[in-house]
Amino acid sequence: MPLFLQKVVPEDLESLVRIQYTAFHPTDPLHILIYPSPVPPTESIIQKTVSRTLNYWTSTPNLTWLKIVDSTTDKIVAGAKWMFWDEADEERWEESVDPTWILAEEKGKGNAGPGVEDKEYVAWVMGEVYRRRRERMSGRAALLDICFTDPEYHRRGAGRMLVEWGTRRADELGVGCFVEASKVGRRLYEGCGFVEKEDVVLEGGRAREEWGKYGMVDYLWMERVVKQR
């Protein structure tokens, strides 16, 4: 089944959002906090995530959404969001995060994941994520903000196509690449030239005793240097 890469159009977002939830829920702790949802997500959650994704996309000029399509079925099977900065921008990541995306009206409709209704906890986690971004990629840079594949298409090259599109463009611009990777994604990113710089472990209980019940959020901070052409 030949796969091909294209840039996303707004009409693709609903299909991409559905794949995104299938790929990350309910196993990825950071995704659960950023995109709280019962399992499986309700239609209300899907549509609100589509709207939220579109609003951010249209207000962020340096952002590119990509998709992988199965040419035999015209089905979208994977997606990724790349961001590129060709100059320094100290206002890139806010210091104070207000997690307005927490959907309180979905309370009680299923397992929405740990901590999703605790705005202070979510704000703390996201503050830690953004702090690292501010410190480590305030200059010219490329960020792979999210990358996911329909589980039925794992190990067929879709993820690599999405990652290599961005690394090629980063090399053309002469900028380094960054990604906040899951442990599952480590092998893919290492194969594309990324190197682990930190195994980030965010334990809420260390910051505030009552947050200990939320367990921990962990991910890999990975970097890729520019490849000379």
pLDDT tens per residue across span 93-114 = 888 888 887 754 444 444 444 4
| Mean pLDDT, all residues of the chain | 90
pLDDT band at 198 (very low <50, low <70, confident <90, very high): very high
End-to-end CA distance of the chain: 32
What pLDDT score was predicted for residue 179? 98
Q: Select from 129, 138, 50 the least CA-distant residue to 97.
A: 129
Burial of 133 (0-12, 13-18, 19+ CB in 10 A): middle
- Contact, 34 vs 110, CB < 8 A? no
pLDDT band at 116 (very low <50, low <70, confident <90, very high): low
Q: Which residues are CB-contacts of 134 (< 8 A; sequence separation ≥ 6)?
A: 90, 92, 93, 95
pLDDT tens per residue across span 135-181 = 999 889 999 999 999 999 999 999 999 999 999 999 999 999 999 99
Give the start-to-end residue ranges of the domains of the chain: 3-224
Fold of 3-224: Aminopeptidase (3.40.630)
Question: How far is the C-alpha of 38 from the C-alpha of 45, rounded, in Å?
Answer: 9
